[in-house]
Chain A
């Protein structure tokens, strides 16, 4: 298996809802990432997990809560989001971010989130 999968593909939620995004990879990668991408913009890094520990949090609001239950799975819990949080949420993984030749990131297809 050489891909990163994300579910759901699309999500519409109200500002009072709680929902979760799921990302999975079975490539044995030890780093996983969440990015946010607005239309016609580059991806913006949100969180990095390295060896299942949160290593980078790019000052993301607390209404986004990441979780890494195991080395293959990454979740993003959403609560009390704002309409401006509507975006494509991308998950990525890499074999090991510390080593040259093993740091390339593989992206999933994303979850298109709409907050009403």
Chain B
């Protein structure tokens, strides 16, 4: 059973455009929602994260929107750049009993064309 559903699987965007990746979860016990960015040959790196008591969080060009009632959250990358080309994983976790072990989505391969 896939607890975190992520779409789309791949995304191609022109430089300067907006990239949007969506995720949905089922377990209402999740209380932490991170996004990871992974470049080829590298490990995932935490990009931005949100808690369910906040509906939006922005860090630079990256914004998470969170809809608790719909159990959905999304990543928006504004003014997308070729350097943003990577695989993005959404995740959900719960703590402290769940030790904040992330349940990952399947990933989105983003390509930003110059």
Name A's B-contacting residues (CB within 8 A).
4, 31, 40-43, 45, 48, 50, 55-56, 90, 92, 94, 97-100, 103-110, 112
Contact = CB atoms under 8 A, between A and B. Distances in A.
Contacts of B41: 109-110, 112
A97 B43 contact: no
Interface of B is mostly: loop
B99 A55 contact: yes
Nearest to A103: B100
Interface of B: 32, 34, 41-46, 49, 87, 89, 93, 95-96, 99-102, 104-107, 109
Given A42-B105, A42-B106, A97 B95 contact: yes
B38 to A, nearest CB: 8
Contacts of A112: 41
Complex A-B, nearest 5 residue pairs according to Cβ-Cβ distance, in ascending order: A107-B43, A42-B104, A103-B100, A97-B99, A98-B96
Contacts of B104: 42-43
Contacts, number: 62
Nearest to B43: A107
Contacts of B87: 40
Contacts of A100: 32, 95-96
B96 A110 contact: no
21 contacts: A42-B89, A42-B106, A48-B99, A56-B101, A90-B43, A90-B44, A92-B43, A97-B96, A97-B100, A98-B99, A100-B95, A100-B96, A105-B102, A106-B46, A107-B43, A107-B44, A107-B45, A109-B42, A110-B41, A110-B42, A110-B43
A103 B43 contact: no
Contacts of B107: 40-42
Nearest to A50: B99
Contacts of A43: 44, 89, 104
B100 A94 contact: yes
Contacts of B34: 104
B107 to A, nearest CB: 6
Contacts of A98: 95-96, 99
